[in-house]
């Protein structure tokens, strides 16, 4: 892997997006809504076909965390095809690829931004109406990887 391989946006294709799970629990409509957000991700790959899947797991909940509060759990898959994927990983000791953090952060940024728009539209007729996911650093999102859950 070239540690400094440039990411060329035209070589990244987001070819499939799928909402796998969407649970919305609506309680009382809050007067001054304020929500906590938790985000995690999982990755999968197909090196032969130069594909990477990013799964985003998003949870929004009332900050008061009341029994009758509002809560959202969302799981979305984003499938990417990356030209010259071989430039963005090394094979490590256990014969698995270790991908460039820069590449994964880029894919996380694309995925989260896409999820922001999808969520805004999906929540328009719920108690979450008007909620916009915050801007989050994709580099910080690298640390939100979900393992074995």
Kindly state whether residue 67 falls inside one of the protein's structural domains: yes
CATH number reported for the structural domain that contains residue 83 in this entry: 3.10.420.10
* Assigned domain for 3 exists: no
Give the confidence band of 114 by pLDDT, cuts at 50, 70, 90.
very high
Determine the structural domain holding residue 84 and report its residue range: 9-144
Residue 76 forms part of a structural domain: yes
**Taking 50 as the threshold, does the pLDDT of residue 28 lie above it?**
yes
For 71-94, how does the pLDDT look when each residue is reduced to its tens digit (9 = 90+)? 889 999 999 999 999 999 999 989
Instruction: Report d(CA 15, CA 49) in Å as an integer.
Output: 13
pLDDT in the model for residue 133: 85
Q: Confidence band (pLDDT; 50, 70, 90) for 128?
A: confident
pTM assigned to the model: 0.87
- Comparing 22 with 1, the larger pLDDT belongs to 22
Rounded to whole angstroms, the Cα distance separating 45 from 93 reads 18
Task: With respect to residue 4, please indicate whether it lies within any of the assigned structural domains.
Answer: no
User: Residue 4 burial by CB count (10 A; 0-12/13-18/19+): exposed, middle or buried?
Assistant: exposed
* CA proximity to 134, closest of 29, 11, 34: 34
Total structural domains in the chain? 1
Q: Are 63 and 36 in contact (CB under 8 A)?
A: yes
Residue 84: inside a domain, yes or no? yes
In this structure, is residue 108 part of a structural domain? yes
Range 38-61 average pLDDT: 94
d(Cα 69, Cα 6) in Å, to the nearest integer? Answer: 45
Asked if the structure places residue 2 within a domain, the reply is: no
Domain-embedded: residue 1: no
Q: Is the pLDDT of residue 43 over 60?
A: yes
């Amino acid at each position: 892997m070239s540690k400094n391989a440039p990411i060329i946006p035209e070589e990244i294709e987001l070819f499939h997006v799928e909402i796998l799970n969407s649970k919305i629990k609506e309680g009382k409509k809050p007067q001054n809504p304020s929500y906590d957000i938790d985000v995690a991700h999982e990755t999968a790959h197909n090196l032969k076909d130069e594909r990477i899947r990013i799964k985003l797991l998003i949870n929004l909940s009332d900050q008061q965390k009341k029994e009758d509060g509002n809560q959202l759990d969302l799981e979305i898959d984003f499938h990417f095809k990356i030209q010259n994927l071989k430039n963005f990983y090394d094979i490590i000791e256990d014969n698995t690829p270790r991908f460039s953090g820069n590449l994964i952060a880029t894919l996380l940024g694309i995925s989260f931004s896409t999820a922001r728009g999808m969520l805004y539209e999906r929540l328009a007729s719920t108690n979450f109406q008007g909620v916009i996911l915050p801007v989050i650093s994709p580099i910080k999102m690298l640390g939100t990887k979900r393992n074995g859950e």
